[in-house]
Amino acid sequence: MSLSNILKFFQPKDKIFYTLFEQVTETLTEMGTIFHQALHETDFAKREELLKKLEDLEHKNDETTHTIFIELGRNFITPFDREDIHYLATSLDDIADYIWGAAKRIVNYNMVDIDESTKGFSVIIKKSITELHKCIGELRGMKKIRSITESCIKINSYENEGDDLLDSSMVQLFNAEKDPIVVIKKKDLYQMLEIVTDKCEDAANVIESIIVKYA
Amino acid sequence: MSLSNILKFFQPKDKIFYTLFEQVTETLTEMGTIFHQALHETDFAKREELLKKLEDLEHKNDETTHTIFIELGRNFITPFDREDIHYLATSLDDIADYIWGAAKRIVNYNMVDIDESTKGFSVIIKKSITELHKCIGELRGMKKIRSITESCIKINSYENEGDDLLDSSMVQLFNAEKDPIVVIKKKDLYQMLEIVTDKCEDAANVIESIIVKYA
Amino acid sequence: MSLSNILKFFQPKDKIFYTLFEQVTETLTEMGTIFHQALHETDFAKREELLKKLEDLEHKNDETTHTIFIELGRNFITPFDREDIHYLATSLDDIADYIWGAAKRIVNYNMVDIDESTKGFSVIIKKSITELHKCIGELRGMKKIRSITESCIKINSYENEGDDLLDSSMVQLFNAEKDPIVVIKKKDLYQMLEIVTDKCEDAANVIESIIVKYA
């Protein structure tokens, strides 16, 4: 066994997962903030610019997620169950994918006026991500179990808000909008935004199951 | 402490999973029956009332599924592989979600006339759930392996029926319907209903893989 | 008979997984080739005939995938992690499902003119599957790690190509197409084709995580 291998052997390799998950929710926080800001920006050119920033962040997050999977393959010891790490990384990555997916639709579909439903989703998404970022930061040490649980409950209620917003937006869309092309575009966007809140709930559910096991 | 609580106390902890899965398919059976009944109800107000009942059942099922995941975290010993419990709970939960999703669309899209395709899906869904409920009841004890296998084969053939119904419904929709808004609504509903039959098949596949391991 | 041949003769049961995965990517290769050929076939009747051939191949692949799951239940020893076998089989099966799903749409929606976007997707899909087939063939023995990694990198870049093609196709569709029914059909088809490239990437990611563990 070489010296470097011996050193590697003594390094707390499993701690890397906390750092990587923190990096993920940091990037997500930035994405949630920029997305929210973009949808409330009235200047069209500035909005497009903000939305396009999300692509780099999504790529950055892809790379961190990729590193998590590589480390999962390399590390025999993990701070919590391997399958939980896998599910958590996947749901968090999905959040980034769907935010960027929604942003792309706004750009590609040339949606000039951002309606109240879309803005409403950006508010729900932003606060869900804020809670997720808090949770992940508190996983290290497993000390603030109560606080983590409260965040998870909040994220679940935000997902319900997202569900209700999708329902009311759809009812309104089919009642008020007569142009089928606009219906196609908005329906697609709303559904994508609602999936973001679903994926936040998925991540919260994994976090909850992790703390149940280790509390 | 009541007698039932004492009995619960002495129940081997891993047996809870059978009870929980039975609760899930009981709720699904109720959902399948109500959904089928609603779609065959000609009185519009009564139909809406029936469809809205599905929301409570979907919430009830969410809670049971949540309990399964919590128990999975708490219990070191499980009656079958942890990953199988996870997949099974997820697919069964998806069935409830997509039935309620379809019901919501019928309400939100204000679909007054229920066509033959939609009714046909409700028949396939109802019989798939009936077989799933039977399977789950027979998992306890693993005695009626042959009967479980037969149910799984039936569920697979119902999924094929669902596929064919989706195909023929789509061909007819694009041939006959000229209003694009109606096309959007019906296409969305049919696809959601076909996913219900997919999720029933997913659940049946997990059950099959469980009995292969334990038979 | 040499010692290595004797050893080969007594091939352990877990080697079946290599053979089964090779069968899967062989079927996928055939599907990718026929799909590509069909979309470049100008004779409508011949094209329909080719597209319909995909159904049998999809069924054949379903059966092989089913066998993989059955063997996974039966075999205590597997050549790589059980969850990796599960994910890999699922992603490869999804590729077949979505190719056949796309083919069915072309037939059911009665899409007579195959546009450049659709043809472009068939090219990306074909080359992604070619790399997947190569990878799977090299898993046995784990000797050509470098070559497997290179294929995985290529598949990832093809998925990016698919993403870009979806974006440009959508922009063009909403700019140029005024018939909402055509928009509905083409949007659905493009999205389905892009999912095929996603599923190829999913499979490549599992393969990459397998070689990280065993290299």
SS3 content of chain A, % helix, strand, coil (to 5): 85, 0, 15
Please list the rounded mean pLDDT of every run of 10 residues in chain A (215 residues): 51 81 98 98 94 95 93 83 91 98 96 96 98 94 88 97 97 96 98 98 93 78
Q: How far is C9 from chain A (nearest CA, A)?
A: 31
Residue ranges of alpha helices (H) inside A75-179 are 82-108, 116-139, 145-176
Q: Which of C85, C36, C105, C91 is nearest to C61 (CA)?
A: C91
- Its pTM stands at 0.90
Task: Indicate yes or no: CB of A212 within 8 angstroms of CB of B110.
Answer: no
Task: Indicate yes or no: CB of B104 within 8 angstroms of CB of A205.
Answer: no
Per-residue confidence (pLDDT) for residue C146, from 0 to 100 = 92
Which residues of A make CB contacts under 8 Å with C?
A: 69-70, 72-74, 83, 86, 104, 108-110, 180-181, 184-185, 188
Please list the rounded mean pLDDT of every run of 10 residues in chain B (215 residues): 51 82 98 98 94 95 93 83 91 98 96 96 98 94 88 97 97 96 98 98 93 78
Residues of chain B with Cβ-Cβ distance to A175 below 8 Å are 110
Task: Indicate yes or no: CB of C181 within 8 angstroms of CB of B180.
Answer: yes
Q: Is the ipTM of this complex over 0.90?
A: no
CA atoms within 13 A on the CB side of B163: 17
Residues of chain B with Cβ-Cβ distance to C86 below 8 Å are 83
Length in residues, chain A: 215
Q: If you ran DSSP here, which 8-state letter would residue C146 be given? A: H
More confident site: C57 or A82: C57
Which residues of B make CB contacts under 8 Å with A?
A: 69-70, 72-74, 82-83, 86, 104, 108-110, 180-181, 184-185, 188
Closest residue of chain C to B169, computed from CA coordinates: C108
- Sign of the C-alpha dihedral, residues B72, B77, B82, B85? negative
Residues of chain C with Cβ-Cβ distance to A58 below 8 Å are none
Cα A116 to Cα A114: distance, rounded to the nearest angstrom: 7
Q: Which of B191, B209, B212, B57 is nearest to B129 (CA)?
A: B57
Per-residue confidence (pLDDT) for residue A214, from 0 to 100 = 74
Q: Which of A69, A110, A184 sits opposite C209 (nearest CB)?
A: A69
Q: Which of A167, A180, A208 sits opposite B108 (nearest CB)?
A: A167
Q: How far is CA A187 from CA A23, A109, A182, in A?
A: 32, 12, 8
Q: Which amino acid appears at position B116 of this protein?
A: E
Q: Which of C85, C84, C168, C98 is nearest to C128 (CA)?
A: C98
Per-residue confidence (pLDDT) for residue A23, from 0 to 100 = 98
Per-residue confidence (pLDDT) for residue B215, from 0 to 100 = 65
Q: How far is CA C121 from the centre of its chain?
A: 13
Per-residue confidence (pLDDT) for residue A14, from 0 to 100 = 77
Q: If you ran DSSP here, which 8-state letter would residue A113 be given? A: S
Cα C68 to Cα C25: distance, rounded to the nearest angstrom: 13
Q: How far is CA C52 from CA A207, C25, C113, in A?
A: 45, 19, 17
* C36-63 as b/e: b if 16+ CB within 10 A: bbbbebeeeeebeebbebbeebbebbbe
Q: If you ran DSSP here, which 8-state letter would residue C110 be given? A: T
Tokens of B24: 């899930």
Task: Indicate yes or no: CB of C69 within 8 angstroms of CB of B171.
Answer: no
Give the angle subtended at the CA of A98 by the CAs of A173 and C198, to the nearest 5°: 120
For testing contact with chain B, the best of C70, C178, C181, C188 (most B CBs within 10 A): C181
Cα C152 to Cα C147: distance, rounded to the nearest angstrom: 9
Cα A144 to Cα A134: distance, rounded to the nearest angstrom: 11
Per-residue confidence (pLDDT) for residue A72, from 0 to 100 = 87
Per-residue confidence (pLDDT) for residue C212, from 0 to 100 = 82
CB atoms within 10 A of CB A177: 15
More confident site: A6 or C144: C144
Domains of chain C listed by start with CATH number? 14-214 (1.20.58.220)
Which residues of B make CB contacts under 8 Å with C?
A: 83, 167, 170-171, 174-175, 178, 180, 183-184, 187, 205, 208-210, 212-213
Task: Indicate yes or no: CB of C109 within 8 angstroms of CB of B83.
Answer: no
Cα B160 to Cα B77: distance, rounded to the nearest angstrom: 36
Cβ atoms of B98 and B195 closer than 8 Å: yes
Cα B73 to Cα B91: distance, rounded to the nearest angstrom: 18
Which segment of B77-86, C93-102, C199-208 scores lowest on mean pLDDT? Answer: B77-86
Give the angle subtended at the CA of A106 by the CAs of A103 and A110, to the nearest 5°: 145
Q: Is the pLDDT of residue C110 over 90?
A: yes
Q: Which amino acid appears at position B45 of this protein?
A: A
Task: Indicate yes or no: CB of B180 within 8 angstroms of CB of C185.
Answer: no
Task: Indicate yes or no: CB of B174 within 8 angstroms of CB of C185.
Answer: yes
Per-residue confidence (pLDDT) for residue B6, from 0 to 100 = 52
Q: How far is CA A215 from CA A141, B74, C105, in A?
A: 11, 10, 50
Q: Which of B184, B205, B208 sits opposite C184 (nearest CB)?
A: B184
Read out DSSP for chain B? --HHHHHHHHS-GGGHHHHHHHHHHHHHHHHHHHHHHHHT---HHHHHHHHHHHHHHHHHHHHHHHHHHHHHHH-S--SS-HHHHHHHHHHHHHHHHHHHHHHHHHHHTT--SPPHHHHHHHHHHHHHHHHHHHHHHHHTTT--HHHHHHHHHHHHHHHHHHHHHHHHHHHHHHHH---HHHHHHHHHHHHHHHHHHHHHHHHHHHHHHHHHHH-
Task: Indicate yes or no: CB of B181 within 8 angstroms of CB of A167.
Answer: no
Cα C140 to Cα C142: distance, rounded to the nearest angstrom: 6
Task: Indicate yes or no: CB of A212 within 8 angstroms of CB of B86.
Answer: no
- Sign of the C-alpha dihedral, residues A15, A19, A25, A28? negative
Tokens of A139: 């996983």
Cα B117 to Cα B197: distance, rounded to the nearest angstrom: 14
Task: Indicate yes or no: CB of A212 within 8 angstroms of CB of B108.
Answer: no
Mean pLDDT of the C46-71 span: 94
Cβ atoms of B196 and B155 closer than 8 Å: no
Q: Which of C73, C82, C180 sits opposite B180 (nearest CB)?
A: C180
Q: Which amino acid appears at position B173 of this protein?
A: L
Q: How far is A130 from chain C (nearest CA, A)?
A: 29
Residues of chain C with Cβ-Cβ distance to B175 below 8 Å are 110
Q: Look at phi and psi of residue C140 and say left if phi exceeds 0, alpha if psi is from -120 to 50, else beta.
A: beta
Q: What does pLDDT average to over chain C?
A: 92
